[in-house]
A and B are shown apart, each in its own frame.
Chain A
């Protein structure tokens, strides 16, 4: 099933073009890594898909399910500061992912609530369901937000830089969770860091103002160079590794 189709999409801020004539199709079962340098337009493409920005030109179309309903997209936004003391429980954070389906009005049904419980178990944070979101560690918080993105049972899950602020252990667990999720849900994973990604994803889209789709998860230096993707790689056998820049406090 076709979930999403971008045809010749262009967009920019003021007079500056950020993405130029981008084409991309996402189908059920896909697991696409969208990689590319910072400022290359990855987040812009996500915002266009989520309807937060309107394209300058081009056509963006969404698929239709077999039962005639519009496809549903789950979204894990890029990490941003929020009020750690905000009064909302982990359980309510997960349920809030139903906002687009519920239009913020109808009450949560028993099914919604049991689905939330199920997801919290799957994410490994069920014992924290009544805690305030601010009490959680970075990795636990990201699981809660992943649960929020998944509760509407989306056809496509979009994750914008999901591992930037979490530790290595969680990064590893996250990829296993995503592999499991991918059994029923297409995934579009955005990252500026292609370190571990390649062994989990199926295909790669390289974005640097334009988008180059590579229908395989094997990345080599040649491929990235030919696509004008300035990411440094050295290769050990078949597994590509990134040459890391200087560490920051978060690494």
Chain B
């Protein structure tokens, strides 16, 4: 097992797991507590449009996906805040439109799109140094935002009207955080793929919330559980020779289920957990 660390790809995967757990753990806690899971799913899938355009133009598909994801995030946020359209309808439109654009442009691109499968299902073992740099920057930004503005973020998520009455710039936070959601989702498409990335942003957080109602601890536990699940999946994928994205999601859900069982057993033996 030690010999694994002699492989560059494995070290990259390990760093990805660390950085991904931080980014996804933090923004995922916001997504889960503010009930933005469906919006996140919409943005992630909409970014497929940018991916397709990226292929067609011969630029980095992830750059295309980030631009498209960011724009659809702003679009959904704008439409829903101005109440021109019901939020869930706006999400459904962005979701399917992005997928349609992606399919059209990949179809129009001559030849076979070689890495397409890795974007749909993820591949943590092909992460490059430049990917790692982007992930490091994003993890830094997320950490800064959550350390500095944790309390405002918590208050906005809990009670937006009251947060506004306290002079908190709710709209600014809404736009910055939805952009952060879009960027995080798009970058970690690399790890878990468009279809599975939602798990990284929701499963560790829900396990953390099951254990504690303390916001600080939820942030920390989400990072921890995300890391454990990703590493377990990585090893599972290596030893069983199965796709890493699917293995990671499988181990995250298993982790959640094990946690749930432990808590159920614990509450049977204890009178009241504090």
Contacts and interface: CB of A to CB of B under 8 A. Distances in A.
Partners in one complex: yes
Interface of A: 50-52, 75, 77, 80, 82-83, 85-89, 92-93, 96-97, 99-100, 102-105, 130, 132-133, 148
A70 to B, nearest CB: 11
Contacts of B165: 50-52, 75, 77, 100
Given A51-B167, A83-B35, A92-B215, A77 B155 contact: no
B96 interface: no
A99 B33 contact: no
B257 interface: no
B151 interface: yes
Contact of A99 (B152, B161, B215): B152
Contacts of B164: 52
A219 B168 CA distance: 39
B80 interface: no
B167 A88 contact: no
Contacts of B149: 104-105
A161 to B, nearest CB: 13
Given A104-B168, A105-B149, A77 B162 contact: yes
Contacts, number: 71
Interface string B132-149: 000000000000000011
The dominant DSSP class at the A interface is loop
Interface of B: 33, 35, 148-149, 151-152, 154-155, 157-159, 161-168, 209, 212-215, 218, 274
Nearest to B35: A83
A100 B166 contact: yes
The dominant DSSP class at the B interface is helix
Nearest to A134: B213
Contact of A86 (B157, B162, B214): B157
B35 A104 contact: no
Contacts of A51: 165, 167
Contacts of B154: 88, 92, 96
Across the A-B interface, give the 4 residue pairs with the lowest CB-CB distance, nearest first. Answer: A104-B152, A99-B166, A100-B166, A87-B213
A99 B163 contact: yes
A148 B163 CA distance: 12
A87 B35 contact: no
